Amino acid sequence: MGNPQQPKRRVAFLLIDGVGDVSIPKFGFKTPLQAAKVPNLDAIASAGVNGLMDPVEVGLGCGSDTAHLSLLGYDPRVYYRGRGAFESMGAGLAMSPGDIAFKSNFATLDERTGIVISRRADRHFEEEGPILCAALDGMKLPSFPEYEVRVRYATEHRCGVVVKGPNLSGNISGTDPLKDNRLLLQAEALDGTDEARHTAKVVNELSKEISHILVAHPLNAKRAAEGKNIANLVLLRGCGIRIEAIDDAGHDKATIFKVKALEAVDRAIGQLSRLLWESESAGNFKYFLCVTGDHSTPVEYGDHSFEPVPFTICPLKDFVDAVGVETILGGSLDPFPLPTVKDGEHLAEDVKIEHGERSKQPRAFRGDSVYEFNEIAAARGCLGRFPGGEMMGVIKNFLKLDA
């Protein structure tokens, strides 16, 4: 029997799509990971153990679908049944670069006051949720006919909403007041870009049109007659975009964009680490950080390749020691603009390739001699080179060693 007072162990597993690459002549024969300024990724490597991983096997170029199966311990030669199965097992909403998506609730709105009476119209919505989602799917926005709206039922009172169209930004606030009996919020831009301001207008109209459709739906008339809360609102929160910028950069041969996208991922890891550290400090959990990729997408090739990807894992506490508690807790949690391919056309001067530039990062102090997160440094790691099918075993054994 384990000690019930011991904090539960959890691994924050970060899989960076298409992270691996090859040496780039314009970068002085460094890879994009070597060229990027990624202090958080470097600190994880410094604080932990490292190695090179072949997502499926040595010499095999693979897609994300087969790689994900392999990393979870399922031999794709045995279990793979085609990409369509993976898509259909998800939420059912395929996203393209530039689309925005929301985690959403069916809710009850007092139309007279604008107050959200209940953020959850009904937790037992398994029969009615799909019906209302079908009514909303494909809806049109009168002022913005160029946008496509897709809606799919998830679980209980939840659904997914995706907006497809030009010039959309993920840097907007949502409409969810987060508590009952509060005013419905208006979406607002979180940065000063025209795209964010425009997107906020689109989303506010989307919220109104959703309510118009739901109010008129006969299912809600039936619920009202039965004395139940009507579902006359969908709360839109957690606006996000597809997280495949790094893989897309490789496919588009956008060298500078890949570097900047890696730096954006590094910044997001800093934000995640702050939230995890605050949770761990409360004493309920002990966290570990694990970072790798599902395959390489070199910008020189413009496609997936067979090169291995770097792998690193460390206890969160050791990462915090490497970076500094003040740095972690002082980091901002505010949303930040993500790079775009258009930005990448003008950022070549921002990428400085200088010998010894990363030597200022913390040196390795646990596990092995690696203190950088990239393909070349990972080859020196104590884990050596291993196939993706062994990854879960590596993670489990590391957690046991840190008991």
DSSP structure string for 223-284: HHHTTPPP--EEEEEEEEE-S-HHHHHHHTT-HHHHHHHHHHHHHHHHHHHHHHHHHHHTTS
Model confidence pLDDT, tens digit, residues 65-86: 677 777 787 777 776 655 434 4
Please check whether residue 152 is in contact with residue 90, taking contact to mean a CB–CB distance below 8 angstroms: no
DSSP sequence for 304-373: -BS--EEEEEEEHHHHHHHH-HHHHHHS--S--PPP-HHHHTT-GGG----TTGGGGSPPP-SSSS--S-
User: Which stretches of the chain score pLDDT less than 50?
Assistant: 1-2, 83-90, 343-349, 353-360
Model confidence pLDDT, tens digit, residues 220-279: 999 899 888 899 999 998 787 767 678 778 878 888 989 999 999 999 999 999 999 998
Q: Which of 5, 137, 155 is nearest to 91 (CA)?
A: 155
Tell me which CATH homologous superfamily contains domain 8-80+243-401: Alkaline Phosphatase, subunit A (3.40.720.10)
Per the confidence metrics, is the pTM higher than 0.75?
A: no
**Domain layout of the chain by residue ranges:** 8-80+243-401, 100-241
Angle at 185 between CA 179 and CA 190, to 5 degrees: 115
